[in-house]
């Protein structure tokens, strides 16, 4: 075990290694090739100390203790994206109480969950109190009703057994609490069968009111069970862990499966302040979450095994007091459910990014950081980012996304089909798309200037004052609005191609930069070394988000184009029928089948198609020949 300390003696990183010499050499052998955040950590550290332990399990335990004690800034730290509620039963009290609890767990209290919403717990409890009327009031209310010798409202409506006034004994109330816990733990079938048996007996002895109450109790239990869908066999107790990550952050979601039912879920968001793999994230998660938990399940399903799988399994088994299986599901229902957990993790990461992007102060800081890092004259209030997408050189397309004031402006997005470039040549594709975009910008600017001059001429006609302005937004249409910063997805070659395109058009007032995926480096034209923003900076986050959006938009267009190219319509075989008229026919009739059923007169109603052309189209579709303007 080793610790890096800064010049003030504060611990900035905690790590473990079997061979400390090899690990330290890996930090200093190739400093330039390290992860940028690791470089920052090494520049911050001024000394390293180490401790020798006997086993991998001891190393894991000590690592967790040090991370908790020193809170080092360069270690992965899980922070809860919300405070999750639990359903708790206070078995340590004389008369156990059912309640919603958050925060640290207490001894003698049995917990169920966590759940996503407190209202979901209260709905479930309200259903179960019909059958298990356990106390739910606070200590103050209980004591007051005890002094008044009068039950509260729940006692009068039979949703509390009223132990405060002696309606049930301490032993009877504890039995109710134990049965309540058993039902939530998954032993629901025996309670429902018992109630059904009692209901039949009551009906047989003509106690119809009691039978009706038991029927309603059964329905209440069944409704409570419906809220927890069965997803796996009844004997399955496991936690399912999945991650969604990018270069800067990761989201983790956990589904708690008990008795084959999903009892709850929980999520965290992680800042990746060092270069870590998914396996490393799994190890950090298991270590930090289960080291303080007293509810380690028999099985933990993860997307990838941790680096020290055997040691981690041993540590979890010690914590549980029994065997724990750490597995990566390969097939079947468990794999399908883990994929669902992963989708939830992706959604959580997406929502986290959306919340972060919507903050005005954060966006202003990001733009300021970009201005300083790229040495711009002003903050890049409008950023355009370009990305190229193709599949082995076919269906080459490019995307242009626009961010204004740090937010996506989707109405300004543009798509390009690359025409002059054949094969997989991103550099030439970038040159083409930049040239086309800014050639249009120059044309729009020239047109706007001419209209401005006409508008100032008192002898000009009234319509000369018409500007190419969108009346809804009040801004220039299409390509007339220039960016402060052009970003391209790529390194030095792509940046050089974009700058060359601007130079050829005589544009010298627009900044150009490229973002390389491997280390998230920013490249400027003509520079031999990249600009590296701090990985946890808002400026880097904004650049990455812009790049990812351009990539998503390009991939979407590429897939649409590829799918369209693979779709062959019967109209494609009709001679003399071009794309515009094919599209007009399909728009008018909705399908080729309905077109075949139409008459020539109905087809001729489509703009651009005459009666003779209509007859020829129908003849081709029906496999006949045109006979003088009438179908054969």
The predicted pLDDT at position 69 comes to 72
The predicted pLDDT at position 408 comes to 84
The predicted pLDDT at position 222 comes to 66
The predicted pLDDT at position 242 comes to 92
Top-confidence residue, 447 or 441: 441
Helix 278-290, helix 56-70: angle, nearest 10: 80
Cβ neighbours, 10 Å, residue 574? 19
| HSE toward the beta carbon, residue 398, CA cutoff 13 A | 28
CB 498 within 8 A of CB 492: no
The predicted pLDDT at position 361 comes to 72
How large is the average pLDDT for residues 226-251?
A: 73
Q: What sign does the CA torsion over 541, 544, 550, 552 have? A: negative
The predicted pLDDT at position 468 comes to 44
Q: Which two tokens stand for residue 132?
A: 């298990």
The predicted pLDDT at position 241 comes to 92
How large is the average pLDDT for residues 171-191?
A: 78
Domain 238-355 falls under CATH 3.30.420.10: yes
DSSP state of 323: -
Helix (H, G, I), strand (E, B) or coil at 560: helix
Beta strands in 423-575 (DSSP E): 485-489, 511-516, 521-523
Top-confidence residue, 145 or 517: 145
Q: Please determine, for residue 579, whether its predicted confidence score (pLDDT) is greater than 50.
A: yes
DSSP state of 466: -
Q: Please determine, for residue 158, whether its predicted confidence score (pLDDT) is greater than 90.
A: no
Percent share of the chain, pLDDT over 90? 6
Q: Please determine, for residue 149, whether its predicted confidence score (pLDDT) is greater than 50.
A: yes
10 Å CB burial of residue 195 (0-12, 13-18, 19+) is buried
The predicted pLDDT at position 120 comes to 60
Percent share of the chain, pLDDT over 70? 78
- Model confidence at 394, pLDDT cuts 50, 70, 90, reads low
Helix (H, G, I), strand (E, B) or coil at 520: coil
Q: Please determine, for residue 599, whether its predicted confidence score (pLDDT) is greater than 80.
A: yes
Q: Please determine, for residue 224, whether its predicted confidence score (pLDDT) is greater than 70.
A: no
pLDDT digits (tens, 9 = 90+) for 328-365: 998 888 888 888 888 888 888 887 777 766 666 777 88
From residue 37, alpha-carbon distances to 112, 396, 443 in Å are 39, 35, 45
Q: Which two tokens stand for residue 92?
A: 């340590």
The predicted pLDDT at position 275 comes to 67
Q: Please, where are the H alpha helices in 505-566? A: 538-566
In angstroms and rounded to an integer, the radius of gyration of the C-alpha atoms of the chain is 34
The predicted pLDDT at position 189 comes to 67
pTM beyond 0.85: the answer is no
Class of domain 360-562: alpha beta
b/e code 426-444 from CB counts within 10 Å (16+ = b): bbbbbbbbbbbbbeebeeb
Q: Please determine, for residue 415, whether its predicted confidence score (pLDDT) is greater than 50.
A: yes
pLDDT digits (tens, 9 = 90+) for 485-530: 999 988 889 999 999 999 999 988 899 999 887 667 888 998 888 8
Q: Please determine, for residue 244, whether its predicted confidence score (pLDDT) is greater than 70.
A: yes
Domain 570-631 falls under CATH 1.10.10.10: no
Range name among 62-66, 98-102, 366-370 with the lowest pLDDT average: 62-66
The predicted pLDDT at position 4 comes to 85
Q: Please determine, for residue 184, whether its predicted confidence score (pLDDT) is greater than 50.
A: yes
How large is the average pLDDT for residues 560-572?
A: 63
CB 109 within 8 A of CB 198: no
- Model confidence at 470, pLDDT cuts 50, 70, 90, reads very low
Give me the phi and psi of 487, to 5 degrees please: -105, 135
- Model confidence at 632, pLDDT cuts 50, 70, 90, reads very low
Domain ranges across the chain: 2-75, 238-355, 360-562, 570-631
Q: Please determine, for residue 107, whether its predicted confidence score (pLDDT) is greater than 70.
A: yes
The predicted pLDDT at position 401 comes to 92
How large is the average pLDDT for residues 319-326?
A: 85
How large is the average pLDDT for residues 283-304?
A: 82
Most confident of 56-70, 229-243, 604-618: 604-618
Superfamily designation of domain 2-75: GIY-YIG endonuclease (3.40.1440.10)
How large is the average pLDDT for residues 95-124?
A: 74
Asked, colleague to colleague, whether 238-355 and 360-562 share their fold, the answer is: yes
Helix (H, G, I), strand (E, B) or coil at 185: coil
The β-bridge relationship of strands 485-489 and 511-516 is parallel
Q: Please determine, for residue 251, whether its predicted confidence score (pLDDT) is greater than 80.
A: yes
The predicted pLDDT at position 231 comes to 56
Q: Please determine, for residue 542, whether its predicted confidence score (pLDDT) is greater than 60.
A: yes
CB 384 within 8 A of CB 485: yes
- Model confidence at 393, pLDDT cuts 50, 70, 90, reads low
Helix (H) or strand (E) holding 327: strand 325-327
Top-confidence residue, 32 or 404: 404
């Amino acid at each position: 075990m080793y610790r890096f300390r800064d010049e003030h003696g504060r611990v900035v990183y905690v790590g473990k290694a079997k061979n400390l010499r090899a690990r330290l050499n890996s930090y200093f052998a190739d400093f330039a090739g390290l992860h940028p955040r690791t470089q920052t950590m090494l520049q911050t550290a001024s000394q390293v100390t180490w401790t020798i332990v006997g086993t991998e399990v001891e190393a894991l335990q000590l690592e967790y203790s040090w991370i908790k004690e020193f809170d080092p800034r360069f270690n992965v730290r899980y922070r809860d994206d919300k405070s999750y509620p639990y359903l708790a039963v206070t078995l340590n009290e004389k008369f156990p109480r059912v309640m919603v609890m958050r925060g640290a767990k207490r001894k003698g209290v049995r917990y169920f969950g966590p759940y996503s919403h407190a209202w979901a717990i209260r709905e479930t409890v309200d259903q179960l109190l019909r059958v298990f009327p356990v106390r739910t009031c606070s200590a103050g209310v209980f004591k007051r009703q005890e002094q008044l010798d009068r039950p509260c409202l729940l006692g009068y409506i039979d949703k509390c057994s009223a132990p405060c006034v002696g309606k049930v004994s301490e032993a009877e109330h504890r039995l109710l609490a134990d049965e309540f816990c058993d039902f939530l733990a998954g032993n629901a079938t025996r309670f429902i069968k018992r109630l059904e048996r009692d209901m039949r007996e009551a009906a047989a002895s003509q106690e119809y009111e009691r039978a009706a109450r038991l029927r309603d109790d059964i329905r209440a239990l069944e409704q409570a069970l419906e809220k927890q869908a069965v997803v796996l066999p009844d004997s399955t107790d496991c936690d399912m862990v999945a991650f969604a990550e990018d270069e800067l952050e990761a989201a983790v979601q956990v589904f708690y499966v008990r008795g084959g039912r999903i009892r709850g879920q929980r999520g965290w968001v992680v800042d990746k302040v060092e270069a870590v793999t998914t396996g490393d994230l799994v190890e950090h998660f298991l270590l930090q979450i289960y080291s303080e938990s007293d509810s380690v399940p028999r099985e933990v399903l993860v997307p990838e095994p941790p680096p020290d799988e055997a040691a981690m399994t041993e540590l979890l088994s010690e914590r549980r007091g029994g065997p724990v299986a750490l597995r990566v599901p390969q097939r079947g229902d468990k794999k399908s459910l883990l994929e669902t957990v992963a989708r939830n993790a992706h959604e959580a990461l997406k929502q986290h990014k959306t919340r972060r992007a919507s903050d005005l102060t954060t966006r202003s800081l990001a733009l300021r950081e970009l201005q300083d890092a790229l040495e711009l004259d002003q903050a890049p209030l409008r950023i355009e980012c370009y990305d190229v997408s193709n599949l082995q050189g076919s269906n080459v397309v490019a995307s242009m996304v626009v961010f204004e004031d740090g937010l996506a402006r989707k109405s300004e997005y543009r798509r390009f089909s690359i025409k002059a470039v054949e094969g997989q040549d991103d550099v030439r594709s970038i040159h083409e798309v930049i040239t086309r975009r800014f050639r249009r910008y120059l044309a729009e600017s020239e047109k706007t200037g001419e209209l401005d001059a006409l508008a100032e001429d008192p002898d000009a006609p009234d319509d000369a004052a018409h500007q190419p302005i969108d009346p809804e937004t009040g801004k220039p249409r299409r390509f007339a609005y220039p960016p402060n910063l052009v970003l391209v997805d790529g390194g030095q070659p792509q940046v050089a191609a974009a700058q060359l395109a601007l130079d050829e058009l005589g544009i010298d007032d627009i900044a150009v930069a490229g973002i390389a995926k491997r280390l998230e480096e920013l490249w400027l034209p003509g520079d031999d070394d990249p600009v590296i923003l701090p990985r946890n900076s808002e400026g880097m986050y904004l650049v990455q988000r812009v790049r990812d959006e351009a990539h998503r938009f390009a991939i979407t267009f590429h897939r649409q184009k590829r799918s369209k190219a693979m779709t062959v319509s019967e109209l494609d075989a009709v001679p003399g029928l071009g794309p515009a008229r094919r599209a007009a026919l399909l728009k008018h009739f909705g399908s080729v089948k309905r077109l075949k059923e139409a008459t020539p007169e109905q087809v001729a109603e489509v703009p651009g198609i005459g009666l003779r052309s209509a007859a020829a189209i129908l003849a081709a579709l029906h496999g006949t020949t045109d006979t003088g303007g009438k179908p054969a």
